[in-house]
Structure 1
Amino acid sequence: MNKIYYLASCDTCRKIIKSLPNMDKLEFHDIRQNPITEEELEEMYQLAGSYEALFSKKAQLYKSLGLKDKNLKEEDFKKYLLEHYTFLSRPVFIIDGKIYIGNSQPSIHAVTQVLK
């Protein structure tokens, strides 16, 4: 099943979801209500190639915990991604074995094309 990992309270996520064609092709996973498991994160990692690619450096906790001043390694990114939903770069789509990460225009355009 194709999935979207998102935050229901995020305006950007809601706006993106509203604009998607054929939303019935997606299984929705609200990461606040249902935190991602290590198994799900591992699937994302396999598709993305790194935990850092999944990690949001825009998260407020990233700055408040002083992580921007640390030299984080892949194990650190994994640890923080599992500890708190805010560190996942949202939304994350897994469609037909491919991953699309974040809310950049090219990423959302690609998802829209795949769902048509």
Structure 2
Amino acid sequence: MAKKMYHLAHCTTCQAIIKETGADKAGLEFQNIREEKITKKQLEEMRKLAGSYEALFSRRALKYKELGLKDKKLTEDDYKNYILEEDTFLKRPVTIFNNQIFVGNDKKTVEALKKALQ
């Protein structure tokens, strides 16, 4: 399984997490999801580790409100399709390391990633 981080290169939060966790020195492969879209296969690998597409889905995305998604009952297929269509719907960054997945930027996740990479 790949040691990889899916991120947005221009995102200051992603940049800060890369620096704080030492991800840039951990031998990870980086994929800027704006330039290199996530494939169905990559998303399925993430889902297997995360347990669901919903766990990978960002409700903070501006388009979430714009498209009125907060008022809809979304299915796992909906989450999957939205993430594949629009990189903004992936909770970032997503790091896969030693068969573990770290999704998003909350404090606990960043701390766990930092520990795993040391």
> Which TM-score band applies after superposition, normalised by the shorter structure?
over 0.9
Q: Which residue of 1 aligns with 2:88?
A: 86
Question: How many pairs are equivalent?
Answer: 116
Q: Which residue of 1 aligns with 2:114?
A: 112
Percent identity of paired positions between Structure 1 and Structure 2 = 51
Instruction: Please tell me the root mean square deviation across aligned C-alpha atoms, in Å.
Output: 0.9
How far does the alpha carbon of each residue in 1:20-76 deviate from its partner, in whole angstroms, 9 at most, with x for none?
Answer: 225242100100000100000000010011000000000000000011110001010
CA distance in 2, matches of 1:55, 1:22: 22
CA pair 32-22 structure 1, distance change in 2 beyond 3 A:
closer
- The 4+ residue runs of structure 1 with deviation greater than 3 A are none
CA pair 73-13 structure 1, distance change in 2 beyond 3 A:
same
Give the alignment partner of residue 96 of structure 1, picking from 95, 98, 104: 98
CA distance in 2, matches of 1:79, 1:38: 9
CA distance in 2, matches of 1:13, 1:23: 11
SS at match of 1:41: helix
CA pair 106-35 structure 1, distance change in 2 beyond 3 A:
same
